[in-house]
A and B are shown apart, each in its own frame.
Chain A
Amino acid sequence: MDILIIGLNHKSAEIEERETVSRKLSTFELRRSFASELLGLQDEVGRPLIKEIAVLTTCNRSEFIMDLPPWTYGKGGHIIKNCIAKYFFGDAAKENIFYMHLNEDAVRHLFSVASSLDSMIIGEPQILGQLKEAYNEACKLKTNGQFLNKLFHRAFNCAKMVRTETKIAASPVSVSYAAVELSKKIFNSLDEKKVLLLGVGEMGKLTVKHFIKYGVRNIYIVNRTKEKAHQFIEESFGVIEKKYLNVIDFSEYYKLLPQSDIVLCSTGSEDYVLKYADIVPVIKIRKQRPLFLIDISMPRNIDPEINKIPNVYLFDIDDIGKMIEDNMEIRKQEADAANKLVEAAAKEFMNWKESLNVVPVIISLRNKVKGILEIELSRYIGDKKEKDLIINSLTNKILHEPTMLIKKASANPEEISSIETIKALFNLNSEDLTETGKEKENEAVKKYIKLIK
């Protein structure tokens, strides 16, 4: 029961490397096949290296969140990392761009990610949705187990707590806000400007909403499937906002490019949607009027070379993120408070995890008491149902305090001797406690979880 996270993000890897990984995990099918490949990894004696796995992919990060069996500890983690690096880059030497977090570090990392503290844009709201998506996928693939379930739910709770108790998400800084601010540096007034949105997505929606708020009245939305664009408008915008939105046929967006002043690109395409050669004639037709391109997709959809064309300004997700990072002092202060919350939540989770180690002690203690009660009560009560009820009730009452003590002791190394005292007091021999088989252990854990629920 060790938690391992291996992944890469905007801090550890360059955009090209993230693109490579993101491309190879772009569809559900690709993620499924790689997850099952990882689950198939075995050690020298043929035992699986990974018990549970979830795959998280966002614009800026790709992560594998895993629960490992006890025998994987140490060397096993490196074997997995090696395998991941080989899969994406065909070269194990690339493994240094992947970070690896184990147990408490991993929990803290996941909670920070969920609370958007590790994001390129601290406090951005999309990451929680993406994490939920990753969890849902793991459920669909049945690669999750009770451990990841608990971990993810705690992560969601932690994110919610950070959002409500700190101001991290209060200020409107996000990619969309930065996009509007940047366009104000290029254009004098946004009222007359035309915005073209390629692809539909959460980030695109937020940015369009921001543009409308700042006075843009002509917005054209293009998507490969027109129905999806209509549905996107229907679901995402209010009545007044809808007035300014127009859906354009995908085949016609080229004609609209010369008239557009701002182009937002957030398609799921794996290749460049706008290439250098596409924009050169466009800027000529525009008579050199400035053109602002925002690429908020991963992998990138607009050729970075385009930024070299005079009067064309291209910003991708990395540029915007870096810019915000440089600028937002207030957010950093709030992030400190949020980090403390994450720290506390991670500690709480680790306590829960540690308490699972004493489950065999609790189970055998309960079995012992139950056994004694069973023998003694059988003399007086014949009805099995009634007898079981009394046995359970008495066991719970008698063992409430000792159980609490054991749980507390498991979280605190200084009190660990009290567990030994309890074992000695009740004469719990090693046979009761040794986990001979995996099934026995799992059963015990399940029982315990049911109990604490």
Chain B
Amino acid sequence: MLKELYLIPVVVYILSYFILLPREKKLYKLFIYLIYAGFICQSIIFFIFLGIKGLTVPVHIDRFVFFNAWILMFIVVLFSLFYKVEYILLYITPLVAVNLLIGFFVPHVHIKPVMLSTDKTILLTHIILILIGDSLFALAFIVSLIYIFQERKIKSKKNLKILGAKDVSIPEALHSGSGYNLELLDNINYQCLKIGFPFITIGIVMGIYLSSSLFKTFMIVKPIEIISLITWLIYAVLLHERVAKGLRGKKAAVFSVIGFLLILFSLSFSFYLFPVFHGLE
């Protein structure tokens, strides 16, 4: 079963948040190290699964959710190390922990993708690409929310803390001031979009291919396809506006938030409401 293993990183993550409670600046670094430790636990579990079954399409709901949580955390850790913005871990980790808990509590149900028998590699690539793309957009979503709140603070000139102030907020203290700025947040948002968009595009194309091979027609009108295309279109417009017209800042952040909400909607739509349309039995 191995489901109990999911609890190890969850416990580490919860523990790390307890460290923040006394609001001692010295302990903030320890918080970051514990989050990384949690991610290492997740990775070890992931490789254990990989060792047991090899790289195959996850056929159990809990494995799927776990896989999703691992990819999301992997991408966030990469970004946090590359851009030196460890404070984003503060916001993403709860999402990951909730994902892991869902993975622990959902029954070990076997899901049967219909086309599993037909085109395994394309199905696996479709899943991986979409998950990477969605994780990037999830990161863009969180970063956009931070941007919107931070921008509002600066515009309204209220509750602005500068260094030397007694009660600097935790994310600012985590990053000792630098790095917690609008330009970088906007840049991360842009990078997520630039990298995530090709993943999502190829993922959707593969999805359409799989769907057409399943239903024997090319692009029959199905809710999942319509929502996916709307989402794709929103991100396409956003990318175009950014590249061509230099759209930045709050508008771009709001776009990202809307885009990700649509993704959440389409995922829940396709998995829970109309699983058949997504090729699930």
Residues of A at the B interface (CB closer than 8 Å) are: 171, 173, 178, 181-182, 184-188, 287-290, 307, 310-311, 313, 315, 319, 322-324, 326-330
| Cα A329 to Cα B246 with chains together (Å) | 41
Q: Which residues of A contact B246 (CB under 8 A)?
A: 287-289
| Cα A290 to Cα B248 with chains together (Å) | 9
A288 touching B162 in the complex, CB below 8 Å, given contacts A184-B181, A185-B182, A186-B182: no
| Cα A86 to Cα B162 with chains together (Å) | 41
Which of A185, A311, A319, A324 counts the most chain B CB atoms within 10 A? A185
Q: Which residues of B contact A328 (CB under 8 A)?
A: 164-165
Given contacts A327-B161, A327-B165, 13 further A-B contacts (CB under 8 A): A171-B164, A181-B163, A184-B181, A185-B182, A186-B181, A187-B181, A287-B245, A288-B247, A289-B246, A310-B249, A319-B157, A326-B165, A327-B162
Using CB atoms, name the residue of chain A closest to B159.
A326
Does B250 sit at the interface, judged by CB under 8 A? yes
> From residue B128, how far is it (CB to closest CB) to chain A in Å?
32
> From residue B241, how far is it (CB to closest CB) to chain A in Å?
10
> From residue B162, how far is it (CB to closest CB) to chain A in Å?
4
| Cα A319 to Cα B154 with chains together (Å) | 11
Does B111 sit at the interface, judged by CB under 8 A? no
| Cα A323 to Cα B163 with chains together (Å) | 11
Contact partner of B157 (CB less than 8 A), chosen from A181, A311, A323, is A323
Using CB atoms, name the residue of chain A closest to B246.
A287
Number of A-B contacts (CB under 8 A): 71
| Cα A13 to Cα B180 with chains together (Å) | 35
A186 touching B155 in the complex, CB below 8 Å, given contacts A181-B162, A310-B251, A330-B164: no
Q: Which residues of B contact A324 (CB under 8 A)?
A: 162
A290 touching B182 in the complex, CB below 8 Å, given contacts A184-B177, A310-B249, A311-B249: yes
> From residue B104, how far is it (CB to closest CB) to chain A in Å?
39
Q: Which residues of B contact A287 (CB under 8 A)?
A: 245-246, 248
Q: Which residues of B contact A185 (CB under 8 A)?
A: 150, 154, 160, 180-182
> From residue A174, how far is it (CB to closest CB) to chain B in Å?
12
24 chain-A/chain-B pairs, Cβ below 8 angstroms: A178-B162, A181-B162, A181-B163, A181-B177, A182-B154, A182-B160, A185-B154, A185-B181, A185-B182, A186-B154, A186-B183, A188-B183, A188-B187, A288-B247, A288-B248, A288-B249, A289-B246, A313-B154, A313-B155, A322-B157, A327-B161, A327-B164, A327-B165, A327-B166
Does B121 sit at the interface, judged by CB under 8 A? no
Does B227 sit at the interface, judged by CB under 8 A? no
Specify the main secondary structure of chain B where it touches its partner. loop
Q: 3 closest A-B pairs (Cβ-Cβ)?
A: A287-B246, A327-B165, A288-B248
Q: Which residues of B contact A182 (CB under 8 A)?
A: 154, 160, 162
| Cα A287 to Cα B251 with chains together (Å) | 13
Q: Which residues of B contact A307 (CB under 8 A)?
A: 155
Contact partner of B183 (CB less than 8 A), chosen from A290, A323, A330, is A290
- The interface on chain B, measured as residues whose beta carbon lies within 8 A of the other chain's beta carbons, has a size of 27
Contact partner of A173 (CB less than 8 A), chosen from B157, B164, B180, is B164
Q: Which residues of A contact B163 (CB under 8 A)?
A: 181
Q: Which residues of A contact B191 (CB under 8 A)?
A: none
Q: Which residues of A contact B182 (CB under 8 A)?
A: 185-187, 290
Does B178 sit at the interface, judged by CB under 8 A? yes
Does B19 sit at the interface, judged by CB under 8 A? no
| Cα A185 to Cα B251 with chains together (Å) | 19
Which B residues between 226 and 281 are near A, CB-CB below 8 angstroms? 245-251
> From residue A295, how far is it (CB to closest CB) to chain B in Å?
13
Q: Is the CB of A310 within 8 A of B181?
A: no
Q: Is the CB of A289 within 8 A of B164?
A: no
Q: Which residues of A contact B116 (CB under 8 A)?
A: none
Which B residues between 91 and 114 are near A, CB-CB below 8 angstroms? none
| Cα A299 to Cα B142 with chains together (Å) | 41
| Cα A427 to Cα B127 with chains together (Å) | 113
| Cα A143 to Cα B191 with chains together (Å) | 66
> From residue B29, how far is it (CB to closest CB) to chain A in Å?
21
Does B37 sit at the interface, judged by CB under 8 A? no
Q: Which residues of A contact B206 (CB under 8 A)?
A: none
Q: Which residues of A contact B183 (CB under 8 A)?
A: 186-188, 290
Q: Which residues of A contact B248 (CB under 8 A)?
A: 287-290, 311
Does B65 sit at the interface, judged by CB under 8 A? no
Which B residues between 146 and 186 are near A, CB-CB below 8 angstroms? 150, 154-155, 157, 160-166, 177-184
Which of B150, B162, B183, B248 counts the most chain A CB atoms within 10 A? B162
| Cα A324 to Cα B162 with chains together (Å) | 8
Q: Which residues of B contact A188 (CB under 8 A)?
A: 179, 181, 183-184, 187
Which of B187, B247, B248 counts the most chain A CB atoms within 10 A? B248
Q: Which residues of B contact A327 (CB under 8 A)?
A: 161-162, 164-166
The contact string, 1 if C-beta is below 8 Å from chain A, for chain B 196-231, is: 000000000000000000000000000000000000
| Cα A307 to Cα B157 with chains together (Å) | 11
Using CB atoms, name the residue of chain A closest to B154.
A313
> From residue A329, how far is it (CB to closest CB) to chain B in Å?
5
> From residue B83, how far is it (CB to closest CB) to chain A in Å?
9
| Cα A182 to Cα B157 with chains together (Å) | 10
Q: Which residues of A contact B180 (CB under 8 A)?
A: 185
Q: Is the CB of A323 within 8 A of B164?
A: no
Contact partner of A315 (CB less than 8 A), chosen from B150, B157, B245, is B157
Q: Which residues of A contact B150 (CB under 8 A)?
A: 185
Using CB atoms, name the residue of chain B closest to A312.
B155
Q: Which residues of B contact A330 (CB under 8 A)?
A: 164
> From residue B265, how far is it (CB to closest CB) to chain A in Å?
27
| Cα A315 to Cα B161 with chains together (Å) | 15
| Cα A328 to Cα B168 with chains together (Å) | 12
| Cα A287 to Cα B248 with chains together (Å) | 8
A310 touching B178 in the complex, CB below 8 Å, given contacts A287-B245, A290-B183, A327-B165: no
Q: Which residues of B contact A322 (CB under 8 A)?
A: 157
Using CB atoms, name the residue of chain A closest to B185.
A188
Q: Is the CB of B160 within 8 A of A323?
A: yes
Contact partner of B249 (CB less than 8 A), chosen from A171, A187, A290, A326, is A290
Q: Which residues of A contact B187 (CB under 8 A)?
A: 188
Contact partner of B178 (CB less than 8 A), chosen from A184, A186, A326, is A184
> From residue B55, how far is it (CB to closest CB) to chain A in Å?
38
Q: Which residues of B contact A313 (CB under 8 A)?
A: 154-155
